[in-house]
Amino acid sequence: MNHGQFYKADALVAAVHRDAGGIFAGFRAAHAYGRIYAGTFVATPVAKTLSRAAHFQGTRVPVTTRLSGASGDPTKEPSNVVAMATKFYLPDGTVTDLIGITLPVFFARTPEEFLAFTDAHTADPATGEPDVAKLKAFAAAHPNGGRFLLLMQKQPAVVSFAQVSYRPLHAYRFVNAAGVGRWARYHWEPEAGVASQPVEELAKQPRDYLYDEFERRLHRGPVVFRLELELAQEGDPVDDPSAIWPNGRERVVVGRLELLRPITEVENGDPEMMHDPTAVTDGIEVSPDDQIIAARRGAYLVSLAQRTGGWQRRGELATAPPILTATTVSKEWTCLRFISTRLPLRRPSSSSPRSSTSDRAARRSLATAPTSSSRCITAALLTRTSRKGRAASGSASITTGPIAAAWS
Ligand code: HEM
């Protein structure tokens, strides 16, 4: 039975924090550290025969993709589980999200199973390791969860965010213009091919290694993924992301994603950037009996409220002078520290085309700052630039030249 989106939402997020080893203020409870990239998606001709969704009709649509490691601890390096959360910007001004991960299957069918798993999986503070006896008991009581644990023991680490398959895991119903529906699971398949390495090898690299490697690829050209639908057969469970479907199900290529360049949440005009697996669009439906997908929306909203300060903070922001919204820049790149120490937030003079002293200081610090901080400063500068542009042009959009150019 589906209990609705806020069922056990608080408990689920608390369990995710415990599993991560604590609350890391300002960060997502899970997949805390990540970077965002802009690109485009074009559906193949067959896509519209399966779904009437706007981005399945063949028109090129802008996308952003957030690549992340799995941990809720932002200081941890990615390992054998990484993720790719994509937002499609649809022609009617709405968005639809698709969240993929490198898990072969999920470890739970219900919120209760999720809580039992995280309880068993959370490290014992005394040893720093999960309690093996608890994990064995969980596996014995939950066969799908047990199989997940076995699969994960064997799963190697990635060599690149561009060379791994991402799976959204849930089944969705794709409905075409004639009203005909088919259940299917998504897969993102890398054009560069799949490659892996031992977990111990990746562990030798610094936390940002995979992101920097990805960005070096982007300098050479777009990073491309195929979007495939694995079509369900009669009897395949469509309400259980912990159930594996039999091998050999028909796969249909429905689109091509090209990632082009890094972008920031601020440049994109979406400082909080939540991805929601239930944010589908007309022509794609969520399974009403999938208890995990239902619970995810509530848990993600709780995490969003925690990391942004909730509605109380939103009220504060609404009454603040517009330039202060730069402080809502993602804290992922330690932006608040940099903005407060290097970029005094004074309202820029829209009449002066010259850089302010603080802008020039920030640009100088770009040369020496570590990557994460440079990205932060770039974000802040872009915000200031686009706000100056907005003041001058009267445009309501925060995303001015660069993003439009990349997407045109
Ligand atoms: C009941 C089950 C689950 C719970 C409680 C849960 C919890 C969370 C939470 C609290 C966040 C942070 C959200 C935010 O602050 O924006 C998150 C993010 C995420 N979760 Fe889950 N999750 C669940 C299932 C899944 C599944 C099945 C997948 C696999 C597709 C998944 C993949 C992700 C990814 C990729 C992100 C990062 C999204 C981003 O980059 O914005 N989660 N999860």
Residue 312: what pLDDT?
Answer: 87
Q: Which CATH number belongs to the domain containing residue 76 in this structure?
A: 2.40.180.10
Residue 112 lies in a domain: yes
Residue 235 lies in a domain: yes
Atom of ligand 1 nearest to the CA of 66: 40
Q: Tell me what the mean pLDDT of segment 345-364 comes to.
A: 37
Could you give phi then psi for residue 245, rounded to 5 degrees? -85, 155
Atom of ligand 1 nearest to the CA of 83: 35
Cα 303 to ligand 1 centroid, rounded to whole Å? 10
Q: Tell me what the mean pLDDT of segment 373-379 comes to.
A: 42
Tell me which of 86 and 342 has the higher pLDDT: 86
How many CB atoms lie under 10 A from the CB of residue 155? 15
Q: Which amino acid residue places its CA nearest to atom 5 of ligand 1?
A: 12
Q: Which amino acid residue places its CA nearest to atom 26 of ligand 1?
A: 106
Cα 296 to ligand 1 centroid, rounded to whole Å? 7
Task: Note whether 25 and 97 are same-domain residues.
Answer: yes
Residue 318: what pLDDT?
Answer: 62
Residue 168 lies in a domain: yes
Atom of ligand 1 nearest to the CA of 100: 30
Task: Note whether 140 and 86 are same-domain residues.
Answer: yes
Task: Note whether 126 and 185 are same-domain residues.
Answer: yes
Domain end point (choices 306, 330, 365): 306
Q: Which amino acid residue places its CA nearest to atom 43 of ligand 1?
A: 30
Cα 293 to ligand 1 centroid, rounded to whole Å? 10
Q: Tell me what the mean pLDDT of segment 147-171 comes to.
A: 96
Q: Tell me what the mean pLDDT of segment 81-88 comes to.
A: 98
Residue 38 lies in a domain: yes
Q: Tell me what the mean pLDDT of segment 101-119 comes to.
A: 96
The model's confidence at residue 142, banded by pLDDT at 50, 70 and 90, is very high
Task: Note whether 290 and 344 are same-domain residues.
Answer: no
Tell me which of 397 and 183 has the higher pLDDT: 183
Q: Which amino acid residue places its CA nearest to atom 24 of ligand 1?
A: 296
User: Coil, strand, or helix at residue 392?
Assistant: helix
Answer whether residue 197 shows pLDDT above 90: yes
Give percent of the chain with pLDDT exceeding 90.
Answer: 72
Name the maximum alpha-carbon separation found in the chain: 69
Could you list the beta-strand ranges (E) of 191-298.
196-197, 223-231, 251-263, 284-286
**pLDDT tens digits for range 199-253:** 999 999 999 999 999 999 999 999 999 999 999 999 999 999 999 999 999 999 9
Query: 136-140, 242-246, 250-254, 387-391: which range is least confident on average?
Result: 387-391
How many CB atoms lie under 10 A from the CB of residue 390? 16
The verdict on whether 219 is a catalytic residue reads no
Answer whether residue 399 shows pLDDT above 90: no
Q: Please choose, from the candidates 104, 129, 25, 117, the residue with its C-alpha nearest in 3D space to the C-alpha of residue 72.
A: 25
Task: Note whether 210 and 158 are same-domain residues.
Answer: yes
Residue 189 lies in a domain: yes
Residue with tokens 């589906």: 2
**pLDDT tens digits for range 271-326:** 999 999 999 999 999 999 999 999 999 999 999 999 999 988 876 656 655 433 33
Number of domains in the chain: 2
Answer whether residue 27 shows pLDDT above 50: yes
Task: Note whether 369 and 290 are same-domain residues.
Answer: no
Q: Measuring from each residue's beta carbon to the nearest atom of ligand 1, which residues come in under 6 Å?
A: 12-13, 16, 28-31, 34, 66, 68, 83, 85, 99, 101, 106, 111, 114, 168-169, 241, 274-275, 292, 295-296, 299-300, 303-304, 307
Please enumerate in sequence order all residues whose Cβ is within 8 A of that of 143, keeping only pairs 6 or more positions apart, or say none.
none
Task: Note whether 348 and 252 are same-domain residues.
Answer: no
Answer whether residue 198 shows pLDDT above 50: yes
Answer whether residue 367 shows pLDDT above 50: no
Atom of ligand 1 nearest to the CA of 111: 1
Q: Which of 31, 67, 103, 118, when mutated, tests ligand 1's pocket best, judged by the most ligand atoms within 8 Å of its CB? A: 31
The model's confidence at residue 189, banded by pLDDT at 50, 70 and 90, is very high
Cα 300 to ligand 1 centroid, rounded to whole Å? 7
The parent domain of residue 403 ranges over 315-407
Answer whether residue 384 shows pLDDT above 60: no
User: Could you tell me how many residues make up the chain?
Assistant: 408
Domain end point (choices 258, 277, 306): 306
Residue 352: what pLDDT?
Answer: 34
Tell me which of 237 and 358 has the higher pLDDT: 237
Domain end point (choices 306, 326, 341): 306
Most confident of 189-198, 325-334, 367-376, 390-399: 189-198
- Please state, in angstroms and rounded to a whole number, the distance separating the CA atoms of residues 227 and 370: 34
Residue 1: what pLDDT?
Answer: 74
How much is the CA Rg of the chain, to the nearest whole Å? 22
Task: Please give the helix or strand (H or E) that residue 306 lies within, else none.
Answer: helix 291-308
Tokens of 94: 């709405």
Give the dihedral sign, CA 234/235/236/241: positive
Give percent of the chain with pLDDT exceeding 70.
Answer: 77
Cα 357 to ligand 1 centroid, rounded to whole Å? 41
Residue 317: what pLDDT?
Answer: 59
Answer whether residue 372 shows pLDDT above 60: no
Q: Please choose, from the candidates 366, 222, 239, the residue with its C-alpha nearest in 3D space to the C-alpha of residue 295.
A: 239
Residue 227: what pLDDT?
Answer: 99
Residue 249: what pLDDT?
Answer: 98
Cα 117 to ligand 1 centroid, rounded to whole Å? 15
Q: Rounded mean pLDDT of the chain?
A: 83
Contact 238, 249 (CB under 8 A): no
